[in-house]
Structure 1
Amino acid sequence: MAQAMKIAIIDDEQDMRQSISQWLALSGFDTETFPSAEHALKELGPDYPGVVVSDIKMPGMDGMQFLKKLMSVDSSLPVIMITGHGDVPMAVEAMRVGAFDFLEKPFNPDSMTKLAKKATQKRRLTLDSRALRRELSDGSGMMRKLIGSSPVMERLREDILDLGQADGHVLIDGETGTGKTLAAHALHAVGSRAGKSFVVYSCAGQEEDVLTRTLFGPIEDGSSRLPLVEVARGGTLVLEDIEALSQSLQARLLTWINDQGTPPETRMIAICNLQEQGRTCENALRPDLYYRLAALKITLPPLRARGEDILTLFTRLSEQFSEEYGCDTPEISAQEAAQLLQAPWPGNIRQLINVAERAVLQNRRGSGSIASLLMADNEESEPVMTTEGKPLKEHVEAFERMLIDNTMRRHKGSIVKVMDELCLPRRTLNEKMAKYSLQRADYV
């Protein structure tokens, strides 16, 4: 959910700050007022979730001093300065120091609203980018969301790290529900544009004229919104369902890509989400656009190819839903674990999320089974097993790893409690944890 944007209004004249506050509140903003710069500085930290509107001429600390203080605290904080008649040179100097823009009294309230919208849009992008940077501060934040230790997931993470450092545009494809948008997010987060704008837009179900205006402008609804190519300028533009673009719009997109130069000012990540059998990104896109994008390509693996990751994901999801619904996490048997591993998962991770939630709900009622949920998800009511059988040893090991992993997390890494619950001597537990690459430090 997007963070609510605030507007801090600083003016020594009570009538002025109240009138600005009332107008912006009517325009849908969350406002707070301060009678002086000194009062405001106590509340405006480096991650203030909004923008600042300040008068220039105030007793005590004036607007210019206040602006310089704010820029030293957070140089990306948008500050709109209000100046009296004849103080335009001072306002221009404020812009040089770092102000977002200025308004000269008397100003049209609509002009204030438009400026506030632009400033809050910029602030939201900045805060979103900072949140990504914080996630990556230990080098694994965003990548940790790509859960799984299967060979295909290890390879996916390596591909993302490699392509994230490149400058070229990227094409991501794969079956529906495999996490293509998450992969795009990770690509942006590990690259040089991590601190810049990240814009995601789905091209599906939109009329061509709407798509054209939304992507390239002009925006004709009277709002101050910018076309997406401008919003994403310098960062990353992610277009989901790119196959939905018409041939003419694909041609315009290609022109925009070619105009970016090398390296491109704005990186584009195209997500192809074809579901029809026999159709591929290559035959859905213009050849010139496809080959322009597919020089750097990532294909997301289907869930059925991820082996034990299925049990890991199911366990994590079950715990999340159990916490949400305030009930116990369902315990699954070895047979149910095998059923999860062998299911075809046509809906991939999205389907797994659905099954995990329903498993928690039916466990709360004390009825149902994993098999019934898998059968309910199979439209043709065919057996849930895949055509590829696995040796019994693999199922046993996967179930054993899941049990140890679940028990370690439930007891927050307490070896004694895990030994007691699983009736294992310490040496055996240590050997099995080493075998399955489980580290006690990950659970403490």
Structure 2
Amino acid sequence: MAQAMKIAIVDDEKDMRQSISQWLALSGYDTETFASAEDALKVLGPEYPGIVISDIKMPGMDGMQFLKKLMGSDSALPVIMITGHGDVPMAVEAMRVGAFDFLEKPFNPDRMSQLAKKAANARRLTLDNRILRKELSDGSQLMKKLIGSSPVMSRLKEDILDLGQADGHVLIDGETGTGKTLVAHALHAVGSRAGKKFVLVSCSALEEDALTKRLFGPMLPEDTQLPAIEEARGGTLVLEDIEALSDTLQARLLSVINDQGTPAETRIVAICNLQEQNRTCEDALRSDLFYRLAALRITVPPLRQRGEDILTLFTRHAEQFSDEYGCDAPQVSAQEAAQLLQAPWPGNVRQLINLAERAVLQSRRGGGTIASLLMNDHEEMQPVMTTEGKPLKEYVEAFERMLIDNTMRRHRGSIASVMEELCLPRRTLNEKMAKYGLQRADYL
């Protein structure tokens, strides 16, 4: 389950601190109290995982000075101010400085709970966005999101690291749902442009005129956003669904690329989605543009070619959804593991994530099987099979790896507990973990 949001309560009156704390604790918040603004500032920082409720009139540093200090440290930190009866000018000034809202004494506890909930939701969104931005600028974090150790995924990661260091334009292709946009983020994050602008434009999401303006301008006086070509200058411009560009826009993009020279001032990463339609990106683009973009090329492998990565991905996402929904993750049987490995996965990783969520919800209700969910996805296939058969040994090893991985995660790396549950002697467990590349440190 998600960790309870913290609330820092700052008031020089002990009874007031305690009553606010008790009320909010009953509402499920993790409260901490401070008798002065000076004490609170020792704890509150830019990454504080919560909100602040503070009185305005306090000895020493008053609430307004305290608010200004907090806003200077983190302007997105929600601060609810408590004002005296009828002190409207003070409340207005607090809002101007950056207070989230204010409560007027004597206040209704339910009103305080409503404000706290609203502020906590805003704070959670802010912190989530900061984490996302950090991940999207952190190459090591992004590479960890490319889950899997199959040969095709190992090659993909090597390609990303190699091409990330190069400076030419890149074409990324592959089937729908394979994670091409994530690969584009990773290319940017592991290269020399990591600290520069990353701009993403979907070429299929806009009409011709709107797309022309978004990519190339012209700028109007009322516009607040630069054209993407200008906005991404010095960094990376990612063009999703590059095949949707009209001939006119293809010609204009080619002109921009030719004008930049070498090395390119702005790196263009083009994402193409045509493989599953028996039509390639080369068919959709004019040849001179295609060869400029495809000088460096990455093809993201479909899920059905990734072997035991399928089980790793399924269990990881099932764990995430079980945490989100507050229930246990469904246990995958040997038969279900084989069916997951044999499924054709036309929707690739995106389809697997949807299946994992449905499996968790189904398990929470106490019924259904993973097999039934797979059959619903592929009703025409009896039984669900890929076109490529695999030796029984591969299925057995994939299931064994998944079983050890899941058990290690559940027991947080406790070798003794895993040995007991799986009825394995220590030497055998160590040998299997080494065989499957499982490290105890990853589970601690």
Deviation at 1:265, TM superposition (A): 1.1
Judge conservation of contact 2:136–2:142 (CA < 8 Å) in 1: no
**Structure 1 partner of 2:72:** 44
Aligned in 2, Cα 1:49/1:270: closer, same or farther, shift over 3 Å? Answer: farther
CA distance in 2 between counterparts of 1:289 and 1:317 reads 38
Aligned in 2, Cα 1:129/1:379: closer, same or farther, shift over 3 Å? Answer: closer
- Once superposed, which parts of structure 1, at least 4 consecutive aligned residues long, lie more than 4 Å away? 34-43, 47-50, 127-130
**Structure 1 partner of 2:360:** 360
Q: TM-score, normalised by structure 1?
A: 0.70
Equivalent residue letter for 1:131: K
**Structure 1 partner of 2:374:** 374
* Greater CA drift, 170-179 or 35-44: 35-44
**Structure 1 partner of 2:329:** 329
CA distance in 2 between counterparts of 1:252 and 1:221 reads 23
SS where residue 44 of structure 1 aligns? helix
**Structure 1 partner of 2:342:** 342
CA distance in 2 between counterparts of 1:317 and 1:39 reads 41
Judge conservation of contact 1:216–1:229 (CA < 8 Å) in 2: yes
CA distance in 2 between counterparts of 1:42 and 1:365 reads 45
SS where residue 388 of structure 1 aligns? coil
Q: Which runs of 5+ in 2 are unaligned?
A: 1-61, 78-129
**Equivalent residues in 2 for 1:141-152, closer than 5 Å:** 141-152=141-152
* Residue deviations 1:365-394 (CA, integer Å, cap 9, x gap): 121111111111126344311122212111
* Residue deviations 1:124-160 (CA, integer Å, cap 9, x gap): xxx7997248734xxx221111110000000000000
* Residue deviations 1:309-359 (CA, integer Å, cap 9, x gap): 000000000001101111110001000000000111010001101111111
1:421 matched to 2:409: no
**Structure 2 partner of 1:435:** 435
**Structure 1 partner of 2:158:** 158
Aligned in 2, Cα 1:168/1:134: closer, same or farther, shift over 3 Å? Answer: closer
**Equivalent residues in 2 for 1:119-268, closer than 5 Å:** 131-132=134-135, 135-136=138-139, 140-220=140-220, 222-268=222-268
CA distance in 1 between counterparts of 2:181 and 2:379 reads 26
Judge conservation of contact 1:129–1:196 (CA < 8 Å) in 2: no
* Residue deviations 1:280-337 (CA, integer Å, cap 9, x gap): 0001001000000100000000000000000000000000110111111000100000
* Residue deviations 1:26-83 (CA, integer Å, cap 9, x gap): xxxxxxxx999998566534x8669xxxxxxxxxxxxxxxxxxxxxxxxxxxxxxxxx
SS where residue 214 of structure 1 aligns? helix
SS where residue 277 of structure 2 aligns? coil
Identity of aligned residues (%): 74
* Residue deviations 1:218-264 (CA, integer Å, cap 9, x gap): 24593322111121111111010010000110000111111122111
Aligned in 2, Cα 1:151/1:219: closer, same or farther, shift over 3 Å? Answer: same
Q: TM-score, normalised by structure 2?
A: 0.70
Equivalent residue letter for 1:350: R
Q: How many residue pairs end up in the alignment? A: 332
**Equivalent residues in 2 for 1:31-110, closer than 5 Å:** 43-45=71-73
CA distance in 1 between counterparts of 2:277 and 2:136 reads 39
Equivalent residue letter for 1:416: A
Equivalent residue letter for 1:358: R
**Structure 2 partner of 1:304:** 304
CA distance in 2 between counterparts of 1:142 and 1:409 reads 21
1:412 matched to 2:412: yes
Equivalent residue letter for 2:395: H
Equivalent residue letter for 1:135: D
Judge conservation of contact 2:362–2:368 (CA < 8 Å) in 1: yes
CA distance in 1 between counterparts of 2:330 and 2:292 reads 48
**Structure 1 partner of 2:269:** 269
Equivalent residue letter for 2:279: R
Deviation at 1:206, TM superposition (A): 2.2
- Kindly report the root-mean-square deviation, in angstroms, between the aligned alpha carbons of the 2 structures: 2.5
Judge conservation of contact 1:133–1:194 (CA < 8 Å) in 2: no
Aligned in 2, Cα 1:417/1:128: closer, same or farther, shift over 3 Å? Answer: closer
Equivalent residue letter for 2:206: Q
Aligned in 2, Cα 1:430/1:371: closer, same or farther, shift over 3 Å? Answer: same
SS where residue 330 of structure 2 aligns? coil
* Greater CA drift, 216-225 or 320-329: 216-225
SS where residue 186 of structure 1 aligns? helix
CA distance in 2 between counterparts of 1:129 and 1:311 reads 25
CA distance in 1 between counterparts of 2:187 and 2:137 reads 16
Q: Which runs of 5+ in 1 are unaligned?
A: 1-33, 51-126
**Structure 2 partner of 1:389:** 389
CA distance in 2 between counterparts of 1:42 and 1:328 reads 40
**Structure 2 partner of 1:288:** 288
Equivalent residue letter for 1:232: A
Judge conservation of contact 1:200–1:240 (CA < 8 Å) in 2: yes
CA distance in 1 between counterparts of 2:137 and 2:237 reads 21
CA distance in 1 between counterparts of 2:385 and 2:358 reads 20
Aligned in 2, Cα 1:147/1:326: closer, same or farther, shift over 3 Å? Answer: same
